[in-house]
Structure 1
Amino acid sequence: MHLVQRLAAVVLTLGLSAGLVGCGFHLKGTNPSTMPITYSKLSFALPADTEELEKQLSVYLTASGAQISQANDAYVLRVLNYTPRRQLLNGKLTEVLLRLTVTFQIEDRQGHALTEPRTITATRNYQYDVATVNTDNQQEIYLNHIIVDDVAQQIARQISNNRLPKLISQP
């Protein structure tokens, strides 16, 4: 009977492990050297009024192994376009669509582009009944924070996974 219990435990463990692997579960590494050597030192060149994006980028890129530095050998993460949009759709319920589009590229210190520009878009929406709600500012402020955080995560993930297409130099 003892052998049967052990066999059942082994089969159950293997079955659960196969189930986790089958659903796509995997442990995320915390190795600080996950950032490609090319972009291990970065500085930011961001438009005005993007302090929250800069803060979130610093958090996620540092966690990926990048060093945020103003040194001469640091590459520059330049945000070429930062466009927040708010669209209001009126009907029986009012729906607010929030969208943030950010275009960025990696440059050397002299301003020469090293990667093709990449555009990231994040969207959130919410609804409310005008007759029952006096203000929607709190929900909108919260969702704007979520959108900026989402964009920062996507940028950091693409940089740390080296998924940015290299700029093809023109002869």
Structure 2
Amino acid sequence: MHLVQRVAAVILTLGLSASLVGCGFHLKGKSVTSAPVQYSRMSITVPSNAENLEEKLALYLSSAGVQLSDAQDAYNLRVLEYTPHLLQLSGTLRQNVLRVTVTFRIEDAAGNPLTDERTIMATRSYQYDAATVNTDNLEEKHLKQVLIDDVAQQIARQISSNRLETISQPTQTNPQQ
């Protein structure tokens, strides 16, 4: 009789646990997609040619838990370089290769770099028959937006997963030995 009661208790416990998991219940804790505490308040600085990269970064960083702020003590995500590139290959079918390269780092409020520079690149290509289709500009415009969105997501993921290398402080050596 004791064995039957124990088995029944185990089955009841497993059944209740499975029903809690099935309904979406989870213990409150730190979300895996939230930004590290030190980057919880941040401002964004992008070059003038970065199209709508700043608004995409703001969207993805705020969804990762970063509070966007222009306060003097906020960290700064500085995009150092934004380089779009278009490679056109001609032939029977025309092929265009779009590439966006972004170099960024995080700085403290005084402008001192806290992380090493990180470069992210996104690439898309498409082809078309120039004799029959004239949608080159529309597709190029759409793919540029896709690339900017992709780069902004990559930057937000790297910040929220804390995968950025911090700058190591140089060691002081004594020259008078």
Task: Please say if 1:129 is aligned against 2:137.
Answer: no
Q: Paired residue for 1:83? A: 83
Q: Deviations over 1:70-116 (max 9, x none)?
A: 00110000011100000001111100000000000000111100000
Work out whether residues 73 and 109 of structure 1, in 8 Å CA contact, stay in contact via their aligned partners in 2. Answer: yes
Question: Could you tell me how far apart the structure 2 residues matched to 1:50 and 1:144 are?
Answer: 11
Question: Which structure has the larger Rg over C-alpha atoms?
Answer: 2
Question: How many Å apart are 1:133 and its aligned residue?
Answer: 1.6
Question: Could you tell me how far apart the structure 2 residues matched to 1:139 and 1:170 are?
Answer: 48
Q: Indicate how the Cα distance of structure 1 residues 151 and 133 shifts in structure 2: closer, same or farther if over 3 A, else same.
A: same
Q: CA RMSD in A?
A: 2.0
**Paired residue secondary structure (1:103):** strand
Aligned residues: 144
**For structure 1, which runs of at least 5 residues remain unmatched after alignment?**
1-13, 15-28
Task: Please say if 1:119 is aligned against 2:96.
Answer: no
Q: Deviations over 1:100-143 (max 9, x none)?
A: 00000000111100000000000000001111123411111000
Question: Could you tell me how far apart the structure 2 residues matched to 1:77 and 1:84 are?
Answer: 20
TM-score after normalising by structure 2: 0.77
Question: Could you tell me how far apart the structure 1 residues matched to 2:81 and 2:32 are?
Answer: 29
Work out whether residues 100 and 122 of structure 1, in 8 Å CA contact, stay in contact via their aligned partners in 2. Answer: yes
Q: Indicate how the Cα distance of structure 1 residues 30 and 136 shifts in structure 2: closer, same or farther if over 3 A, else same.
A: farther
Q: Paired residue for 2:164? A: 164
**For structure 2, which runs of at least 5 residues remain unmatched after alignment?**
1-17, 19-28, 172-177
Question: Could you tell me how far apart the structure 2 residues matched to 1:122 and 1:145 are?
Answer: 11
TM-score after normalising by structure 1: 0.80
**Paired residue secondary structure (2:52):** helix
Q: Indicate how the Cα distance of structure 1 residues 96 and 33 shifts in structure 2: closer, same or farther if over 3 A, else same.
A: closer
**Percentage of matched positions with identical amino acids:** 52
Q: Deviations over 1:24-61 (max 9, x none)?
A: xxxxx994982101100010111003241100000000
Question: Could you tell me how far apart the structure 1 residues matched to 2:32 and 2:101 are?
Answer: 29
Question: Could you tell me how far apart the structure 1 residues matched to 2:51 and 2:90 are?
Answer: 32
Work out whether residues 32 and 65 of structure 1, in 8 Å CA contact, stay in contact via their aligned partners in 2. Answer: no
Question: Could you tell me how far apart the structure 2 residues matched to 1:157 and 1:141 are?
Answer: 25
Question: Could you tell me how far apart the structure 1 residues matched to 2:168 and 2:30 are?
Answer: 32
Question: Could you tell me how far apart the structure 2 residues matched to 1:56 and 1:33 are?
Answer: 17
